Amino acid sequence: MNTKKGFVAAFKDFWFRAGDFRGSSTRGQYWWIFLINFLLGLVFVVALIGGALSSFMAIGPNSNVNPFHLFGNVAGVTFILLLFWFLYQGLPSLSLVIRRYRDAGVTPWVLLLTELAPGIILAIAGRNTTGQVIAGLLRLADLVITLLPTRHPVPAWTTRPNEDSRTVSMVEAIPDFFRRGGVFSGRSSRSQYWWITLWGVIIGIAITVISVPFTVISVVSSLNSASGVPDLTGFFMYLGVLLGLTSLIYLPNLTLTVRRFRDAGVNPWWYGVLFIMQLGASAFIAGSKQFNWGFIIVGILSIVLLVITVLPTKQSA
């Protein structure tokens, strides 16, 4: 595990310890990541606003240009990069704040009060001043805790980075998936990969069953609002929670696929090539009228990925 100090060390530690919920992280490891996110956020927001304004000025109110073309310039690229940055750092951010609390001598369970409770209070209280004050004080407590000095040395990483693939059950696959969320080395068996895929399908169906009626009810109720002004606050809060939960699986899924490629005897860099090609095909679909070709390319790449991930374990020499 990386025990050095500074920006580069904190950045590497942030990603590679995504599945380490038992260790600790110093103030420097926490606040370097905060600074990175703050600066990147400023850059992304400026680029997004500037690109969007230039696009609207170029298109004009009476133009017949395809609205998808908005996503082919600086604004679109910036939005995609910002979305990916957010989605891939969900689990690393959660494990980092847990380690920072433990390092400050505070049980991580307090996070239920300092980070989860404020969101719930604001959702219930709305614009109520008392609720906003209480939520603000709880968030202030979170800030104070993350500023407390280090009390424990950084312990050894609780995950063996190069552990071999093994057969797991449907239930055992879940902790293995998150525990090795930041581990790109080592290997993962077919059962470790496909049980997680099955869980993803099951959860995806459940979310769809819940989301469709909730979305319809939210939109209809907002349109029938007595004030005459559509209020989609609840709907957007639901989307925010959904995105937050989704961000917990993006990095673990990436590392799992990398390990599955290696376990199948395929160089993991090929997954990077497939991933970039899929992104390119998706961008082609969004910015071109030749939708059929784009979908055909995405389909072929998906079949290649499927074939590789079903290959049996190739025993190491």
* Residue 287 in this model has a pLDDT that exceeds 60: no
Q: How many CB atoms lie within 10 A of CB 244?
A: 15
* Residue 68 in this model has a pLDDT that exceeds 50: no
CA gap 27, 30 in Å, rounded: 5
- For the segment 250-271, the average pLDDT, to the nearest whole number, is 93
With bands split at pLDDT 50, 70 and 90, how would you rate the model's confidence at 75? low
* Residue 307 in this model has a pLDDT that exceeds 80: yes
Task: For residue 292, give Cα distances in angstroms to 46, 167, 273, 289, 298.
Answer: 35, 40, 22, 9, 10
Question: Is residue 146 within 8 Å of 27, Cβ to Cβ?
Answer: yes
Q: What is the pLDDT of residue 217?
A: 75
* Residue 289 in this model has a pLDDT that exceeds 70: no
Instruction: Give the residue carrying structure tokens 């609840």.
Output: 234
The residue with greater pLDDT, 123 or 89, is 89
* Residue 140 in this model has a pLDDT that exceeds 90: yes
pTM for this entry: 0.82
* Residue 159 in this model has a pLDDT that exceeds 70: no
DSSP structural state of residue 156: P
Task: For residue 266, give Cα distances in angstroms to 186, 232, 271.
Answer: 13, 47, 9
For the ranges 70-74, 177-181, 214-218, 225-229, the lowest mean pLDDT is seen at 70-74
* Residue 125 in this model has a pLDDT that exceeds 80: no
With bands split at pLDDT 50, 70 and 90, how would you rate the model's confidence at 309? very high
Q: What is the pLDDT of residue 230?
A: 61
Return the top range by mean pLDDT from 72-76, 208-212, 265-269: 265-269
pLDDT per position as a tens digit, 5-24: 788 888 988 999 998 998 88
With bands split at pLDDT 50, 70 and 90, how would you rate the model's confidence at 317? very low
Which regions of the chain does DSSP assign to beta strands (E)? none
Q: What is the pLDDT of residue 136?
A: 92
Number of continuous H segments (helices) and E segments (strands) in the chain: 12, 0
| Domain ranges for the chain | 1-105+148-158, 161-317
CA gap 234, 169 in Å, rounded: 38
Q: What is the pLDDT of residue 123?
A: 78
Q: What is the pLDDT of residue 55?
A: 62
